[in-house]
Amino acid sequence: MIPLEMRRELIETVDSQISICKQCELLSVARSTLYYTPTKASDKDLGIMQELDKLYLEDPTRGTRRMTKELRKLGYRIGRFHVRSLMRIMRLKTVYCLPRTTISDPAKYKYPYLLRNLRIDRPNQVWSLDISYIPMPRGFMYLLAVMDVYSRFIVGWSLSNTMEAEWVVNTLSASIAQYGKPEIINSDQGSQFTSEEYVNFVKGLETVQLSMDGKGRAIDNVYIERFFRTIKYDKIYLERPETGNELYAVCKQFIHYYNERRDHSSIGDVPPNKAYRRAA
């Protein structure tokens, strides 16, 4: 899947024989995305966000209070509300040991979590998808991954500098076009996954059930969270790509290795691709 940023660069806005509207349609780029210019975070905030990402990978149970204390130990003069704002931008979800007894916005919790006590014993039974913040030297990107839970096979992925529902739908649509429909698609309750565009797309698949984690329960999507941890520590943090194109090349190389060559003990010491193809 070509990342959104690269598709945006292919669009000719001057002296093109094809209208911008038609180019956007052919490249699956929303016109709002084409004209959108993200606000650049300050160098100080970018440094804090990189530290937050490392602290979260180390211990995802840290909330805003504990994150603030850890950052102050590192020499940052920062308040809890600022930490909360940055964590929201980064989509960091504090993991709770037990489900909360109340949900702050019941209207947004439209779909149940279908994986509890479910035996997952075949490919394309359950797909999980999630978004992770990727720190860059002069900014940040987001990585969206779609995983077949049975085999841990990454069936789709994409990079973007914004988190739009359309980006999620396009990536999921491309995965389905290549590998077919799963029985269940599971995500968290992020705004991209509770949006009308995403929900209507999944419901339009007819045979696919929509599942959502409980609020604060990032551990419900544990396999894809482990994948994000692995790709960051084993590849991205070591190579430190500086541009979107470099990050795309690094992710592509690692995900190919992860799918095709990296053995997983939980699936019989074989790579995900072999587990997926063997049972498919």
CA angle, 145 then 46 then 31, to 5°: 55
> Which residue has better confidence, 135 or 40?
135
φ, ψ at 164 (rounded to 5°): -100, 150
What is d(CA 226, CA 228) in angstroms, rounded to the nearest whole number?
5
With 60 as the cut, is the pLDDT of residue 90 above it?
yes
Q: What is the average per-residue pLDDT within 218-225?
A: 72
pLDDT the model gives residue 178: 93
For the ranges 18-32, 57-71, 255-269, the lowest mean pLDDT is seen at 18-32
Q: What is the average per-residue pLDDT within 217-227?
A: 74
Quickly list H helices, 59-190.
64-73, 80-90, 165-179
pLDDT the model gives residue 231: 93
Q: What is the average per-residue pLDDT within 59-83?
A: 89
Q: What is the average per-residue pLDDT within 87-108?
A: 60
Q: What is the CA radius of gyration of the chain?
A: 19
> Mean pLDDT of all residues in the chain?
82
Q: What is the average per-residue pLDDT within 44-68?
A: 86
List the structure tokens of 158.
């994409």
Q: How many residues does the chain have?
A: 280
The Cβ of residue 93 has, within 10 Å, a number of other Cβ atoms equal to 21
pLDDT the model gives residue 98: 45
Query: Pairing between strand 139-148 and 126-136?
Result: antiparallel
Domain ranges of the chain: 4-35, 43-90, 111-279
Judged by DSSP in three states, 188 sits in coil
- Does residue 227 contact residue 152 with C-beta atoms inside 8 Å? yes
pLDDT the model gives residue 169: 94
Please name the residue that has the structure tokens 């491309």.
174
With 80 as the cut, is the pLDDT of residue 102 above it?
no
> Which residue has better confidence, 190 or 199?
199
Q: Name the range with the highest mean pLDDT among 16-25, 47-56, 102-111.
A: 47-56
For residue 237, name the pLDDT band (cuts at 50, 70, 90): confident
With 70 as the cut, is the pLDDT of residue 196 above it?
yes
With CA atoms as reference, report the closest residue to 132 among 60, 181, 65.
60
For 144-177, how does the pLDDT look when each residue is reduced to its tens digit (9 = 90+)? Answer: 999 999 999 999 999 988 888 899 999 999 999 9
Full-prediction pTM beyond 0.75? no
With 60 as the cut, is the pLDDT of residue 86 above it?
yes
Give 111-279's CATH code, choosing from 3.40.50.720, 3.30.420.10, 3.40.720.10, 3.40.30.10.
3.30.420.10
pLDDT the model gives residue 184: 96
With CA atoms as reference, report the closest residue to 109 among 36, 171, 193.
193
List the structure tokens of 237.
């943090």
List the structure tokens of 11.
């669009």
